[in-house]
Structure 1
């Protein structure tokens, strides 16, 4: 890494179900500087794991109406080494974006597929990549992509025990499977 601070690099926020597997997979992409687990997209300013789970339970029981946070990863990258479309390709290929509020055994709105952008350029690239991947999925019999693409709001860093979870717990659960369909070149 150069003399730049990690916070000097651009970042994008993805939700691919449980953040443990997403963090591990995206951290392996050359040019990625840092991947941080967190929560974003919900109504509350700050979120904790317990609060997200409690709200999801209340939502499923019909006892709440607030928008819950999604488990997300904040991917900081060096644009000299990797471009955003490459990161988006890894995003699409590493989970099943047609499943709605679930990935693997993880079910709930907190496990939804999301891309949270900060700039109009990021939004544009995210939408183009969705169209490309939807075409590829449709050719292989998959349904409509349910991924939410919207502006980043209310991001909170996850608790320390969630950071690098699968590195610390190599046999920990990862519900990410992907579709097996490659992102078009």
Structure 2
């Protein structure tokens, strides 16, 4: 029993400096094109598009939700927020890389705003659960917003404050979502890209709180 408890504790705690797996110098192989749209996963992306990155539990269902959003040009799943360079799926599952499962979202701000994506993010999962999402337990399943630039960072923090007030009014707990500047993004293996398009009846654990997210108004320019 002690051994099982020790393993679980390691899974829900970020690795300390020097504990993370070493990883590798080169990126792991992945798909070249999006399975649904056929667009290039790694670009080049059309001029005028912007990028966002979200972690909200298992990345299979999270990615489908975003690629089905009007105005999203392409999505990809991967790993971010940890210490191990170019990790594999198996390595991240040990909890010894520090990475979260995330979705990279390339979107057209003329069609869908970053605020719209934040609303989708907050309402699609429970951001109060710490190092887990439902029955999925571990650092890889933590809630995270990784922002590209100061504007996204400010918008993410403002949305957190607004949603936390709504959750409190509904009797829910405090938000544990990690909000930080975007770190390195490592593309996951080909089999994980657009997984639920390839496996329509595959596992999806997305479940929101049922609390609507009313984002703060953006000041007029």
Please say whether Structure 1 and Structure 2 have the same fold, judged by a TM-score greater than 0.5.
Answer: yes
> Size of the alignment, in residue pairs?
173
Of 50, 53, 56 in structure 1, the residue corresponding to residue 93 of structure 2 is: 53
Q: RMSD over aligned Cα, in angstroms? A: 1.7
| Whole-angstrom distance in 1 between the partners of 2:44 and 2:180 | 27
Structure 2 residue matching 1:175: 3-state secondary structure: coil
Find runs of 4+ consecutive structure 1 residues off by over 6 angstroms: none
Task: Indicate the structure with greater helix content.
Answer: 1
- Give structure 2 stretches of 5+ with no counterpart: 1-36, 38-42, 216-221
1:14 to 54, 72, 76: 54
Q: Displacement, 1:30?
A: 1.1
Q: Which has the greater radius of gyration?
A: 2
1:60-107 C-alpha deviation (Å, 9 max, x unpaired): xxxxxxx61000000110011011000000000000000111112210
Question: Is 1:101 the equivalent of 2:101?
Answer: no
Q: Distance in 1 between matches of 2:149 and 2:81?
A: 16
Please give the alpha-carbon distance, in whole angstroms, between the structure 1 residues aligned to 2:79 and 2:153.
19
User: Residue 46 and residue 26 in structure 1: after superposition, are their counterparts in 2 closer, same or farther (change >3 A)?
Assistant: same
Any idea what SS the aligned residue of 2:211 has?
coil
> Per the alignment, in what secondary structure is the counterpart of residue 98 of structure 2?
coil
Q: 1:154, CA displacement in angstroms?
A: 2.4
Matches within 5 A, 1:1-185: 5-6=44-45, 8=47, 9-54=49-94, 56=95, 68-184=98-214
> How far apart are residue 50 of structure 1 and its match?
1.3
Deviation at 1:176, TM superposition (A): 1.0
Partner in structure 2 of residue 63 of structure 1? none
TM-score, normalisation: structure 2:
0.75
Quick one: structure 1 residues 163 and 7, their matched pair in 2 at CA, closer, same or farther if it must change by over 3 Å?
Answer: farther
More RCO (CA 8 Å, sep 6+): 1
Q: Equivalent residue of 1:14, what SS?
A: strand
